[in-house]
Amino acid sequence: MGFLFGKRKNKSASSAKNRLQFVLYSEHQGLPPETLEKIKSEFITVITKYVDVDTENLDVKITPDGAIQANIPILEKKGRRV
Amino acid sequence: MGEVIVVTSGKGGVGKTTTTANVGTGLAKLGKSVVLIDMDIGLRNLDVVMGLENRIVYNLVDVIEQKCKVNQAFIKVKGFNNFYLLPCAQTRDKTSVTPEQMKTLTDMLKKEFDYCLLDCPAGIEQGFKNAIAGADRALVVTTPEVSAVRDADRIIGLLDANEVKRYDLIVNRLRPDMVKRGEMMSAEDVLDVLSIDLIGIVPDDENIVISTNTGVPLVGSDSLAGKAFQNICLRVTGEEVPFLDLNKKQGFFSRIFGKK
């Protein structure tokens, strides 16, 4: 399946799927999208107390089984990515 | 004892009526006794899709109001021994019937028929409540679009809340060429989003339009949609049938679902 998802990156189908997963998760949990955005930004605030992170390339998403998955690249002190 | 199956979707225009007509006809072709009930009171269409619009005398509301016996309202489908349509009223609305009355009716019909298929109206209001009241299971129809999938999710939640514990998904109007280009969600993508089992994938097929034009369901024909509906019917009866290869050149579906 990897070969398929690889090809589909940035295509509209994967965008449809991500948007649906996000909206359905927030509907199921009774969490409005703003709250999820708040969780995301507070999460980043906590992490940046200890390390510098690459806020441009971080990715926080909801997986189909309802987990919050974060991929937060850490920056070196000089600003170079590890 | 037969089974009462509701064909539902939440969103309109995704193919509920086409699915009801084809699955019903397919089950009848398998030798099952089948009755189709149009639950879209006020906006009836199952009669035209089945090519039976000129033979309606009585309807569902007449039966509920005891203006006629249920057998008098049945329209026999030609070429079958035990296949009927119970049409709905066109000049009444959804409040003409209650969920309790529908449950009583379907409880009675499932003693006589192997399958009782209900074509549910769009929406989640009274018409939906009437259609699911006596249902043992549901076929949830969606297309691979965000709006239809979101509504299907809502329907699944409502089926759960209303004790319809068995439901399966039909992904309708899939375009394998667009899926291949990454511009349409695949059936797998839809399944990742919804908590439901898949019972069929029906490709977008112009033969559906042609069959609706003539009022003859295409299930069992040589077209891809005809084969897809045939397979759904077999799966409804409990048979295990591999999923069709909708994109033979690329072997796309066979890679996902295993070759025939």
Specify the pLDDT at position A67: 76
What does the pLDDT look like over B123-169, one tens digit per residue?
A: 999 999 999 999 999 999 999 999 999 999 999 999 999 999 999 99
B window 145-184, beta carbon within 8 A of A: 145-146, 149-150, 153, 157, 178-179, 181-184
Nearest-by-Cβ selection for B193 from A7, A8, A20: A20
Whole-number percent of chain A with pLDDT over 70: 74
Average pLDDT across chain B, whole number: 94
Judged by DSSP in three states, B84 sits in strand
Name which of B10, B67, B70 is nearest B37 in CA terms. Answer: B70
ipTM: 0.84
Residue pLDDT, tens place only, B192-212: 999 899 999 999 999 999 999
DSSP A44-72: HHHHHTTS-B-TTS-EEEE-TTS-EEEE-
How many angstroms away from the CA of B160 is the closest CA of chain A?
A: 13
Percent of chain B with pLDDT over 90: 93
- CB-based contact A17 B193, cutoff 8 Å: yes
pLDDT digits (tens, 9 = 90+) for A12-51: 999 999 889 888 988 888 777 777 778 778 888 888 899 8
Could you say which residues from 8 to 27 on chain A have a Cβ atom under 8 Å away from some Cβ of chain B? 8-9, 11-14, 16-17, 19-21, 23-24, 27
Domain range summary for chain B, segments of one domain joined by +: 3-257
A1, A3, A4, best to mutate vs chain B, most B CBs in 10 Å:
A4
Using a CB–CB cutoff of 8 Å, tell me whether B79 touches chain A: no
CATH architecture for the domain at B3-257: 3-Layer(aba) Sandwich (3.40)
